[in-house]
Amino acid sequence: MKTPLATLALAALAIAASAPTAAETVAEFYKGKTVDLIVGASPGGGYDIYGRAVARYWGKHIPGNPAVVVRNMPGAAGMTMLRHTAKAAPRNGLVVGTGFPLAILKPLMDKRDDYLPTSFSFIGSANQESRTCVAMKNQPVKTFDDAFTTEMVMGGNAPGGAPHDTPIMLNNILGTKFKLVAGYPGTQEIALAVSRGEVGGICGFGWTSLMSQQPQWVTQNQVNLLVQIAMEPYPALTKLGVPMIWNWVKTEEQRRVLEFLMAEQVFGRPFLGPPDIPADRLAALRESFMATMKDPEFLAEAAKIGIEVDPVTGEKFEALIKRVASSPRDIIDKAVNALKRP
CA 314 to chain centre: 12
- The span from the CA of 301 to the CA of 234, in Å, is 22
If we measure between CA atoms, which residue out of 9, 71, 8, 3 comes closest to residue 41? 71
The sign of the dihedral angle between the CA atoms of 189, 89, 280, 63 is negative
Kind and range of the H or E element at 22?
none
Task: Classify domain 131-263 by CATH architecture.
Answer: 3-Layer(aba) Sandwich (3.40)
Nearest-CA neighbor of 265 among 224, 228, 298, 300? Answer: 228
CA distances from 121 to 219, 227, 258 (A): 39, 33, 26
CB of 165 within 8 A of CB of 102?
yes
How far apart (Å, rounded) are the C-alpha atoms in residues 342 and 197?
A: 25
Can you give the pLDDT at residue 9? Answer: 45
pTM beyond 0.75: the answer is no
Q: Considering only CA atoms, which of 140, 136, 150, 149 is closest in space to residue 199?
A: 136
pLDDT value at position 209? 85
> How many other CB atoms sit within 10 Å of the CB of residue 220?
8
Give Cα 328 to chain centroid, integer Å: 24
Find out whether 95 and 274 touch, Cβ atoms under 8 Å: yes
Residues 93, 124: Cα–Cα separation, whole Å: 14
Name 125's bridge partners. 270, 312
Give the C-alpha separation, 180 to 167, whole Å: 7
Contacts of 191 (CB under 8 A, 6+ apart): 202, 213, 214
**Same fold flag, 32-128+267-338 and 131-263:** yes
DSSP per-residue codes, 218-278? HHTT-EEEEEEESSS--HHHHHTTPPBGGGG--SHHHHHHHHHHHGGGGGSSEEEE-TT--
The tens place of each residue's pLDDT in the chain, 342 residues long, gives 444 444 444 444 444 433 344 589 999 999 999 999 999 999 998 899 999 999 999 999 999 999 999 999 999 889 999 999 999 999 999 999 999 888 999 898 888 889 999 999 999 999 988 999 999 999 999 999 999 999 999 999 988 788 999 999 999 999 999 999 999 988 999 999 999 999 999 999 999 889 989 999 999 999 999 999 998 899 999 999 999 999 999 999 999 999 999 988 889 899 999 999 999 999 999 999 999 999 999 999 999 988 889 999 999 999 999 988 989 999 999 999 999 988
Domain ranges of the chain: 32-128+267-338, 131-263
- C-alpha pair distances (Å), 242 with each of 221, 245, 266: 14, 10, 19
pLDDT attached to residue 22: 58
Q: 32-128+267-338: what fold?
A: D-Maltodextrin-Binding Protein; domain 2 (3.40.190)
